[in-house]
Structure 1
Amino acid sequence: MRLLSYNIHKGIGGRDRRYRLERICEVIEEQNPDLVCLQEVDTNARRSKFHDQPELFAKYFSLDHKLFQLNVKLKAGGYGNLVLSRWKFQETEQISLKLNQKKNRGAQMCVVDTPEGKLHLVNWHLGLAEKERIWQARKLLMHTSFKKYAEHPTLIIGDTNDWRNNLANGPFAHQGFRHITRPASKFRSFPAYMPMGSLDKLFVNHGLKIKHTHMVRSLKTRDASDHLPLVVDFHFRSPTMSLLEKEIGEGDPLPEKSE
């Protein structure tokens, strides 16, 4: 299974400052992901020609399952997070990560019915201040719904704004999550044209096996946004019982466990 995470900067290029949503589409399409987690997605905003970007992306990639979270409202429209999936959502929940008077941030939680079983997926975008990010991570990890869904293999991904790489050894380490996007030198994602900060990060629990993770570096990604996209190929560590039964054959007895 393949997942792509991308802060698309509303479709506005990091260097030329031009709105060219087709560049974002081309970047994503070249990676052929099954799941797409986007941050800074516009809807009905003047700067992006009043486009309904969540709907445009869903139609362009023929991904029927869509979840949009509007975090920041503008005079016209606003922007937020978007999850697109090849497979249906069994459960969804969206929580605000707003702290005091700071800009609203959010996290999307989905239980996705993948071919390998139920995946608990979180797409989020964190704040600019370190104390704010620590608070946001703790709020997510201690949230009642997160704990309920965390019985499934869990993947947390998105733009953390974690310049100093402190999240991994803080809240996530205490909850038994592995930080996959390290060392930071291999996963620099911002600014896209000359990456210096490893801001787009991936954390997983024990239920997932990561096959490969990389930043997409190309002439196209240097210009399409101010972030580089992050791609991860992964599998469940053990197949679900239903999947095992399907592989053996319907109606056939499961093999007896050897001593």
Structure 2
Amino acid sequence: MNIIRVATYNIHKGVQGLGPARRLEIHNLGLAVESLDADVVCLQEVRHSNRLEAKRFPRWPELAQAEFLAPQGYEAVYRTNAITRHGEHGNALLSRWPVLGHQHEDMSDHRLEQRGFLHVSLDVHGQMVHVLVVHLGLVKASRARQVAQLQRYIQREIPASAPLLVAGDFNDWGTTVQLALAQTGLHAWAESVPTFPSRLPLAQLDYVFARGLKPLGLMVPRGRIWWRMSDHLPLIAEFALPVT
């Protein structure tokens, strides 16, 4: 049985804390990502560059965060969602498997939030697996329109027979997104596994939805080491690939 292990993690741009207590966590995050031992790591709030933070923190990496976090032997794919005064940030995917192609679609719904999703196709055990890395908006009405856009994209760009994973931070405190994606044949685990806020998790905002793959297991690592690095906890899911 061929198994694929997928993690999704909002890394909060590699920095935690407020004001003078702000601290750089990107180096710890590099060790953490490697410890997840996932075949595919879907990341949100990944900085490509930030001139202000680079001046503030002497140990700011020279590499863009996606490349810096990629374990040895992994390919890193990054696309920008938001351009800010001092830099830019977006979604990334780190893959143990060969990357066959990738594209990005803007899904910004209003001028205060720049959003997008990353589509990467992978060669996993000789099969093409599609992965979408998503970070939805904070406003409920915006999320509804973004999910509808996501559904249209899937129907247009991804064959119904192809294995598909949709992972990321959905910012949904209820079941609205789950019910909507189920209409596209995408399902997550029935039980809730809280991932936010990381110090005292109350809600599951992070999901791995799948179509055409058999779910095997789901876990969320906990402990002080994890809540210090980001305001989200990582979510790890395992699936069996269909036999071809």
**Contact 1:65/1:86 (<8 A) preserved:** yes
**Contact 2:42/2:133 (<8 A) preserved:** yes
Instruction: From the superposition, tell whether residues 32 and 144 of structure 1 become closer, same or farther in structure 2 (CA, over 3 Å).
Output: closer
Query: Mapping of 1:1-259 within 5 angstroms?
Result: 1-13=4-16, 17-45=22-50, 46-47=52-53, 49=57, 51=61, 52-58=64-70, 61-115=71-125, 117-143=127-153, 147-169=157-179, 171-180=180-189, 182-184=190-192, 187-205=193-211, 207-236=212-241, 238-240=242-244
Of stretches 99-108 and 145-154 in structure 1, the one that deviates more from structure 2 is 145-154
Cα distance in 1 between the residues matched to 2:72 and 2:156: 28
**Contact 1:14/1:224 (<8 A) preserved:** no
Instruction: From the superposition, tell whether residues 97 and 235 of structure 1 become closer, same or farther in structure 2 (CA, over 3 Å).
Output: same
Sequence identity (%): 29
**Contact 1:189/1:228 (<8 A) preserved:** yes
**Contact 1:210/1:235 (<8 A) preserved:** yes
Deviation at 1:156, TM superposition (A): 0.5
**Contact 1:6/1:228 (<8 A) preserved:** yes
**Contact 1:116/1:235 (<8 A) preserved:** no
**Contact 1:109/1:146 (<8 A) preserved:** no
Instruction: From the superposition, tell whether residues 56 and 150 of structure 1 become closer, same or farther in structure 2 (CA, over 3 Å).
Output: farther
Deviation at 1:2, TM superposition (A): 1.1
Larger radius of gyration: 1
The alignment's TM-score, normalised by the length of structure 1, stands at 0.83
Structure ranking higher in strand proportion:
2
Cα distance in 2 between the residues matched to 1:14 and 1:231: 25
Unpaired segments ≥5 residues, structure 2: none
The alignment's TM-score, normalised by the length of structure 2, stands at 0.88
Q: What one-letter code is carried by the residue in structure 2 that aligns with 1:123?
A: V
Q: What one-letter code is carried by the residue in structure 1 that aligns with 2:221?
A: V
